[in-house]
Protein backbone atom coordinates (compact mmCIF):
# COMPACT_ATOMS: atom_id res chain seq x y z
CA UNK A 1 0.00 0.00 0.00
CA UNK A 2 1.31 3.44 -0.89
CA UNK A 3 0.33 6.04 1.66
CA UNK A 4 0.45 9.77 1.84
CA UNK A 5 1.53 10.74 -1.65
CA UNK A 6 0.70 14.13 -3.16
CA UNK A 7 1.06 15.99 -6.43
CA UNK A 8 4.02 17.89 -5.05
CA UNK A 9 7.25 18.34 -6.98
CA UNK A 10 10.70 19.05 -5.46
CA UNK A 11 10.78 22.07 -3.16
CA UNK A 12 13.53 23.68 -5.22
CA UNK A 13 11.23 24.04 -8.27
CA UNK A 14 7.69 23.93 -6.90
CA UNK A 15 7.00 27.64 -7.57
CA UNK A 16 8.92 27.96 -10.85
CA UNK A 17 6.78 28.84 -13.86
CA UNK A 18 7.29 25.36 -15.33
CA UNK A 19 5.67 23.80 -12.26
CA UNK A 20 3.10 26.46 -11.30
CA UNK A 21 -0.19 24.82 -10.28
CA UNK A 22 -2.17 27.65 -11.90
CA UNK A 23 -0.74 27.03 -15.40
CA UNK A 24 0.39 23.40 -15.36
CA UNK A 25 -2.89 21.63 -14.58
CA UNK A 26 -2.49 19.28 -17.55
CA UNK A 27 0.86 18.08 -16.17
CA UNK A 28 -0.54 17.54 -12.67
CA UNK A 29 -3.52 15.65 -14.12
CA UNK A 30 -1.13 13.27 -15.91
CA UNK A 31 1.14 13.10 -12.84
CA UNK A 32 -1.81 11.99 -10.68
CA UNK A 33 -2.90 9.43 -13.28
CA UNK A 34 0.62 8.01 -13.64
CA UNK A 35 1.02 7.66 -9.89
CA UNK A 36 -2.30 5.97 -9.13
CA UNK A 37 -2.24 3.61 -12.10
CA UNK A 38 1.25 2.50 -11.08
CA UNK A 39 0.28 2.15 -7.42
CA UNK A 40 -2.81 0.13 -8.29
CA UNK A 41 -0.84 -2.11 -10.63
CA UNK A 42 2.13 -2.71 -8.34
CA UNK A 43 0.77 -2.44 -4.78
CA UNK A 44 -2.41 -3.05 -2.81
CA UNK A 45 -3.64 0.50 -3.29
CA UNK A 46 -2.98 4.12 -2.42
CA UNK A 47 -3.95 6.91 -0.05
CA UNK A 48 -3.62 10.57 -1.03
CA UNK A 49 -1.89 12.90 1.46
CA UNK A 50 -5.05 14.62 2.69
CA UNK A 51 -8.67 15.10 1.76
CA UNK A 52 -8.70 18.79 2.59
CA UNK A 53 -6.04 21.34 3.46
CA UNK A 54 -5.95 25.06 4.06
CA UNK A 55 -2.78 25.60 2.05
CA UNK A 56 -4.51 26.98 -1.05
CA UNK A 57 -2.50 24.53 -3.18
CA UNK A 58 -4.38 21.66 -4.81
CA UNK A 59 -1.19 19.61 -4.98
CA UNK A 60 -1.71 18.84 -1.27
CA UNK A 61 -5.52 18.57 -1.15
CA UNK A 62 -7.55 15.85 -2.85
CA UNK A 63 -10.73 17.91 -2.52
CA UNK A 64 -9.11 21.00 -4.08
CA UNK A 65 -7.55 18.95 -6.89
CA UNK A 66 -10.97 17.52 -7.77
CA UNK A 67 -12.43 21.04 -7.77
CA UNK A 68 -9.55 22.21 -10.01
CA UNK A 69 -10.22 19.35 -12.46
CA UNK A 70 -6.80 17.77 -11.85
CA UNK A 71 -8.19 14.68 -10.11
CA UNK A 72 -11.37 13.27 -11.64
CA UNK A 73 -14.49 12.92 -9.49
CA UNK A 74 -14.41 9.22 -10.42
CA UNK A 75 -10.83 8.01 -9.86
CA UNK A 76 -11.33 5.20 -12.37
CA UNK A 77 -11.37 7.83 -15.11
CA UNK A 78 -7.56 8.10 -14.86
CA UNK A 79 -7.30 4.97 -16.96
CA UNK A 80 -8.55 7.01 -19.93
CA UNK A 81 -5.85 9.68 -19.57
CA UNK A 82 -3.16 7.68 -21.34
CA UNK A 83 -0.59 8.25 -18.59
CA UNK A 84 2.52 6.11 -18.72
27-67 pLDDT, tens per residue? 999 999 999 999 999 999 899 999 999 999 999 999 999 99
Distance CA 46, CA 51 (A): 13
Answer yes or no: is 15 within a domain. no
36 lies in a domain?
yes
Q: Are 37 and 79 in contact (CB under 8 A)?
A: yes
40 within domain boundaries = yes
Q: Would residue 17 count as lying in a domain?
A: no
Is pTM beyond 0.85? Reply is: yes
Residue 32 lies in a domain: yes
Domain that holds residue 45: 2-7+28-80
Domain count, the chain: 1
**Within a domain: residue 23?**
no
Q: What is the pLDDT of residue 52?
A: 93
Residue 18 resides in a domain: no
What are the backbone angles phi and psi of residue 48, rounded to the nearest 5°?
-70, 155
Question: Got the DSSP string for 23-77?
Answer: T-HHHHHHHHHHHHHHHHHHSS-EEES-S--SSS-GGG-HHHHHHTTSS-SSGGG
Least confident of 2-6, 26-30, 53-57, 69-73: 2-6
Q: Quick check: is 52 in a domain? A: yes
Amino acid sequence: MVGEFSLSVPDSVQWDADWAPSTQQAFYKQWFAAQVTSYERDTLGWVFWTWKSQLGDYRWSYQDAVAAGVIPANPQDVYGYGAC
